Chain A
Amino acid sequence: MVTPDKERAAEQAVPHSFKKKRGDNYFMEQKKIFSEPVKYDLTFAREIYRLENGSYIKQCMNCGLCTVSCATRDVMEYPPRQLFNLIKLGKKEEVLTSNTFWSCTSCCTCKARCPRGIPIIDVMHDLKKYAIEYGYTDYPQAAFYKAFWTEMSSRGKMFEGGMTARYFLTRGLDEIVKAMDMKDVGISMLKHGRMPLLPPKKIKGLGGLKKIISKAQELDRKEAAR
């Protein structure tokens, strides 16, 4: 059993510089997530297993290779394997409010390395979709995804200024204040012609793109109905 004493000792045993580099979340594993005893309840898990790549979760053998391969593990609340275990524990709230799948950059390293062949990034996509579907969108990344999508589907092209505006509008006033911190980046991008002031022209054949999208959505709905 990991006692608080042991936990502290383990943390102290690691040089400070290393700790700093790895970030505090590196020691996630030793931290107690729950003070109450946990119970395995597969009701929620069975729902997740039904997602397109959901049943792969069952295959996880807790080796942790995904965690050590992950570029964004330092910002993740739970490493992937713990997230999978949370699903088995039926911790729906913890799973869907966690930033783990939102932090996934789809770099594919974990998927390539997983000895059990779990397509982890696809599982993460499924979880994102599931979270949005059930209204768990109170995440900057979720808003960002939405802003990105709206911009792309309406224009067929990216307009950075428009997307940023959409993003901050959905996130609310507080965020706009925060956004001021990033003004240097924005100005710099403007100077280098990386962020046009005016929206670009829509692509040719936008109607075609929209048809493609709606067809894909239709297929997706059919898939879900099955």
Chain B
Amino acid sequence: MEKKIAVYICTGCGIGDALDIDALSKVAKGEFKVPICKTDGQLCGPEGVALIKQDIENDGVDTVVIAGCSARVNYDVFKFGSDKIVERVNLREQVIWCHTADDEDTQMLAEDYMRMGLVKQKNMNVPEPYHVESFSRNIMVLGGGLTGLTAALESAKAGYSTILVEKEAELGGYVGKMYKQVPMKPPFTDLEENCIPNLVKAVEDAGVKIYKSATVENTAGAPGMFDVTIKQDDGTVQERVGAIVLATGAKPYEADKLGHLGFGKFPNVITQSMFEEMAVAGTPEASKVAFIQCAGSRDQEHLPYCSAACCIESIKQALYVKEKNDEANVYVYYKDIRSNGQYEHFYMKAQQEGVVFVKGDVTEITEEDGKLTIEADDKTMGTTSLADEFDYVVLANGMVPTAALGDLMEEESTTDEAAAACDEPKASTPPIIKANLLNLVYRQGPELPALKYGFPDSHYICFPYETRRTGIYAAGVVRAPMDMLSAVEDGAGAAMKAIQCVEVTEKGEAVHPRSGDMSFPEFNMNRCTQCKRCTEECPFGAINEDEKGNPLPNPSRCRRCGTCMGACPERIISFKNYSVPMVGNMVKAIEMPEEDEEKPRILIFACDNDAIPALDMAGINHMQYNSWVRIIPLRCLGSLNLVWINDAMGRGFDGVLLMGCKHGDDYQCHFMKGSELAEIRLSKISETLDRLGLESERVRATTVSIMDYDKIPAMLDEFAADLEELGPNPMKDFQ
């Protein structure tokens, strides 16, 4: 069906003063023969919006191109229903606010953006949502500890039928076995009764379906249609669920490895959990007890990270001793007391109770007649301190996530083909540890990819709970070391994420970060060469494979980043509103001045998530930059297809710049490794460029975060200066 296009040019916010609007209208009316092209003084005002709505109603307009402000603002104003295509041409933030007014170059830039916008909408179609067959709204929580119980309770209270799977015979997990718990409410100073019995009762009353002594044999499918096989003593049960919360918790670090602190050597050197057991049985009368913090944690030879909960757990146990015997001497040896948030009050309470806190490293523990002696480097006094006559020494031995307990998944056996592929640079693949938790039937491996130290991947600031497997949300100490209060918050948070996932999947929309996106990749299987690049490079493991190596997409697992689209050498993967030809045609739509006009052109592929906002911010701050640049937003740099760069260089662009997010260990890429993949692909193109006689310096990749907006002008000017030194692209003459 032919599209009925209308172009609206806003002259507000100074656009009308800085640009020749008539010439701009001529581009739409003349070059592109757009039937409706109108201007308005304030398009986002009620009259402007009414104008557009009127044309939609009277003239059957179904494609609206709005030339005015950035697509990052007023998106709620320019909303005309899901069956209309709305394309925004950014004349404000990226043209008039950062380039000279009434200038030839600025006018050319605006006209090029108008052409790009018009070409873009030509290649766009209205996305049709993908609907999962026999969709399930159920939520499964794996792990019945504090986090898992909270998640199950929250999800059940929100009206979702919830399934809880617990490995042990009783619910409660590690916290369930505690004598008393750390304070969970103001004033955060007093020991509290264990909350687990009440929580278990609440979960049972809320109608959560509970499987005890059960493990997950395998998890197949995708969000909205996970098929989970649950193994119990008496056979297996199949459950279909929509989303999964992984709350399998952590295990205490193996104390046997702490021989240097006397564990195993002296019977009265015990671990926190052992002391907890003793407390449940009735705290033994003790007149002198020492707690040693960071026993294994923050130690390169053991656990390099801080286990986050041990400080306040030790303080709690110190108060057990004081509760029983007020006159008892209790010492806590610490590196730093990390009593996060409100737990500072709890720390102070212990100090008030007379617990002595010694800042220092324990150097030696010895025993005589059943009494222990501790020698330590006292950091406050700058000397050695000695303390003897201890009845017990309790080691705060930290925690290891259950996701880290298991063997590392081996790489696939190297065949000749694979060996050949090894020569090519490849993106780093996150390790997968066979921890026997989810047993995913995914091509990419049975568990969630691990981040540092074996915690399942999750960007702790931007997207907590999100893992690299859509629909599976990690919460509690399996995700990151944390105290009880944070674990409760985590359980609720992950349950909300799971609910969100179920809701949007039902509508056929993407989950975070492209929330609301209805498009998904479609594969033209006729031309597939079974190269497996899409299945390997998909950061979310959305694509499975059949025996022949054909990709089997799972649209509800997809985050719509387009990494597969960028990876495909045959270019058979496209979205309804985002495709290789679409961006390719946008590149071709940019007018290329002749060499003697001395107007170089720089093409920028900028990531939608950080680089585009940063460029907009540069505009908002009215920072001036080079007007030779033409910016094309990409969903993620991972969707960069090399053919675009080939096209651009062939058309005579003097340089191409890729602006993506930071990658590596502290990545900021919203799709985990998009910018990394783009850089790897780029390394392949430099060879081609060299062959064509073009300098490989003409194509560059850079990383910007949203806060780097002030560095953008310098970045672009520097690149332009370098290009000027290289001289114009010789390909210009062949046009």
Contact = CB atoms under 8 A, between A and B. Distances in A.
Note whether A and B form a binding pair: yes
A40 B384 contact: no
Interface stretch (A56-64, A102-110, A138-146, A166-174): A56-64
A158 B329 CA distance: 49
A1 B378 CA distance: 8
Nearest to A57: B351
A82 B380 contact: yes
A98 interface: no
Contacts of A60: 351
Contacts of A25: none
5 contacts: A33-B383, A37-B384, A61-B351, A62-B359, A62-B380
Contacts of B380: 62, 81-82, 85
A1 B348 CA distance: 27
Interface in A44-101: 55, 58-62, 81-82, 85-86, 88-89
B381 A82 contact: yes
B77 interface: no
A31 interface: yes
Contacts of B381: 33-34, 38, 82, 85-86, 89
Nearest to B384: A37
Interface residues of B, number: 25
B345 to A, nearest CB: 11
Contacts of B384: 37-38
Interface of B: 329, 331, 337, 347-348, 351-352, 354, 356-359, 361, 363, 375, 377-378, 380-387
A39 B386 CA distance: 5
Contacts of A29: 382
B344 to A, nearest CB: 9
Interface of A: 1-2, 29-35, 37-40, 42, 55, 58-62, 81-82, 85-86, 88-89, 116
B700 to A, nearest CB: 40
A131 B329 CA distance: 27
B382 A39 contact: no
Given A33-B381, A85-B381, A40 B352 contact: no
A37 B383 contact: yes
Contacts of B356: 40, 42, 88
Nearest to B375: A37
A66 B89 CA distance: 58
A29 B378 CA distance: 11
Contacts of B377: 1
A123 to B, nearest CB: 15
For the residues of B in contact with A, the DSSP-based class is strand
Given A40-B356, A42-B354, A42-B356, A59 B348 contact: yes
A59 B352 contact: yes
B352 A37 contact: no
Given A37-B375, A42-B329, A32 B352 contact: no
Contact of B351 (A31, A38, A42, A59): A59
Nearest to B363: A1
A61 B347 CA distance: 9
Given A37-B386, A62-B357, 5 more contacts: A1-B363, A35-B383, A37-B375, A58-B351, A82-B380
B352 A38 contact: no
Contacts of A89: 381, 385
Nearest to A64: B380
B382 A37 contact: no
Contacts of B361: 1
Contacts of A40: 329, 331, 356, 358, 385, 387
A183 B348 CA distance: 51
Nearest to B337: A61
Contacts of A35: 383
A38 B354 contact: no
B382 A33 contact: yes
Contacts of A37: 375, 383-386
A189 B60 CA distance: 98
A88 B347 CA distance: 17
A64 to B, nearest CB: 10
A35 B384 CA distance: 8
Contacts of A61: 337, 347, 351, 357
B352 to A, nearest CB: 6
Contacts of B347: 61
Contacts of B329: 40, 42
The 8 closest A-B pairs by CB, nearest first: A37-B384, A37-B386, A58-B351, A1-B377, A38-B385, A85-B380, A34-B383, A59-B351
A87 to B, nearest CB: 11
B351 A39 contact: no
A5 to B, nearest CB: 14
B383 A38 contact: yes
Contacts of B387: 39-40
Nearest to A81: B380
Contacts of A86: 381
A86 B382 CA distance: 12
Nearest to A46: B354
A42 B17 CA distance: 80
A53 to B, nearest CB: 13
B352 A30 contact: no
Contacts of A33: 381-383
B382 A32 contact: yes
* Interface core residue of B329, B356, B377, B380 (most chain A CB under 10 Å): B380
A55 B349 CA distance: 12
Contacts of B348: 59, 116
A55 to B, nearest CB: 7
Contacts of A32: 382-383
Contacts of B386: 37-39
Contacts of B337: 61
A59 B385 CA distance: 21
- Centre residue among B337, B352, B378 by max chain A CB count within 10 A: B378
Contacts of B382: 2, 29-33
A60 B347 CA distance: 11
Contacts of B363: 1
B385 A39 contact: yes
A37 B388 CA distance: 12
Contacts of A81: 380
B331 A58 contact: no
Nearest to A31: B382
Nearest to A49: B354
Contacts of A34: 381, 383
A58 to B, nearest CB: 5
A219 B213 CA distance: 69
Contacts of B357: 61-62
Q: Of residues B329, B347, B351, which shows the largest number of chain A Cβ atoms within 10 Å of its Cβ? A: B351
